[in-house]
Amino acid sequence: MNIPRCLLIACWLTVTAAVAAAPLRVATFQADATPPVGAPLCNGLVPPARKIVTPLSARGIILLGAGQPIVLCAMDWVGIANESHDAFRQALAAAAKTTVDRVTLHSLHQHDAPGSDFATERLLAAQGLARLYSDAEFDRRVIERLATAARAAAEKAEPVTQVGLGSGTVSEVASNRNILGPNGRVAIQRNSAGGRNPAARAAPEGTIDPQVRLVSFWNGERALAALTYYATHPQSYYGKGDVNWDFVGLARELREKALPGVVHIHFNGAGGNVAAGKYNDGSPAMRPILAERLAAGMRTAWEKQQKTSLAAANVGWSIQEVALPVRSTLKEAELRAKLADPRVEKAMRLRAARDLVFVQRMESGRKIPVTCLRLGAARVLHLPGELFVEYQLAAQSLRPGEFVAMAAYGDLGPGYIGTQSAYERGGYETGIVSRVAPSVEGVLTDAIGKLLAP
């Protein structure tokens, strides 16, 4: 059927006018994501939960009025990967009555917290290793809980008239984990939970982004929500089975107490190679100190924020789907053999299952979304994996003088994502556990460049 061109133009103008006239609204939602005692933590890398120190939450916002709804969600979990990442986003999309490509989901990467990947758990269960990596039944309950909260919130969305943008310097928290030697290779690796090595403590901070960035939504003079972005591993100390949201969660709580009624949602930036190791001795006493330092930067960002009018026409959403190159050392046959061999250490079998799922996923042609939220002149990027901070700094350099924030730790299937040169320098992240090849830098920088193009 041939539709007259004039009719198509008229329809497009009608839809465009409707979007421009639609009021922009925001809804906030929150759900409990605290695992039961006995549940696996950190995908089996630390002891299971023995007690609950602080509850864990999943919290987010829904933006309505700018085309189909946009959903941003952050969770106090170590990571959500592959099939589970799809399932969470699909449930949120259905709850918000939008499409899955307009939903982004991130973890804050606390280690005394659960992780989820249904496909990996299924492989392990078939080998008699069920519930060492994750608790799929509990994960599905959280998905239902989160979808219920999002659905209820969407019905109570409030008008947005302004957006606030600010940044504040965070002092003596973040430091680069990799300290290079004279040969340009990694000589010292800072431990993210505590820099007891005198040489690691004495070395410079290295490459970091010291800024915490803030996006706030307002209805007149009333603040509705505050979103913050800061790049670092969130560990103060961990690994005893004490479920908690660590110093990033404490900082978020401090800011919520300081601003009653304003929902705070924190996102972990590109902190794959950044941690508090230079300033953290791993003692329990350092957790509230690190939290206070981060909260101070958040407070500065709040106090310095500049508010501008925001309408639906000023809000946009763009997406680039990327195929990530798989590391050459990951061979499907070898991973299958390792997973099936009872003589292999359990931790290595768990890793083999995670590697295998990602390899199969990429080889099947599955792609991972990289997205960008436009709020007037501001941009907020959403990326997968434990991304190195250089990606965040490079993105900001593409729009100098403008507000560019980044949330990483989306789909955790790829694991660590370094720069091409980082794979040549060695180190734990790129030398041992990353699942992607060095050419990943070109793939992601191309996607980021397209998303940030004028």
Q: Are 288 and 250 in contact (CB under 8 A)?
A: yes
* Residue 57 Cα to chain centre, angstroms: 14
Q: Which is nearest to 293 in space by CA: 173, 425, 162?
A: 173
- The encoded tokens of residue 300 equal 């500065």
Each domain of the chain, given as residue ranges in start order, spans 22-328+352-451
Give the pairing type, strands 306-309 and 263-268: unpaired
Helix (H) or strand (E) holding 419: none
What whole-number distance in Å separates Cα of residue 73 and Cα of residue 54? 19
Matching residue, tokens 């768990």? 350
Q: Are 148 and 30 in contact (CB under 8 A)?
A: no
Q: What is the pLDDT along the chain (454 residues), one digit of tens a residue?
A: 455 555 444 444 444 444 445 799 999 999 999 999 999 999 999 999 999 999 999 999 999 999 999 999 999 999 999 999 999 999 999 999 999 999 999 999 999 999 999 999 999 999 999 999 999 999 999 999 999 999 999 999 999 999 999 999 999 999 999 999 999 999 999 888 766 788 888 899 999 999 999 999 999 999 999 999 999 999 999 999 999 999 999 999 999 999 999 999 999 999 999 999 999 999 999 999 999 999 999 999 999 999 999 999 999 999 999 999 999 999 999 999 999 999 999 999 999 999 999 999 999 999 999 999 999 999 999 999 999 999 999 999 999 999 999 999 999 999 999 999 999 999 999 999 999 999 999 999 999 999 999 8
C-beta atoms surrounding 97 within 10 Å: 12
SS percent in the chain: helix, strand, coil, step 5: 35, 25, 35
What whole-number distance in Å separates Cα of residue 283 and Cα of residue 193? 9
Q: Which is nearest to 38 in space by CA: 126, 123, 134, 119?
A: 134
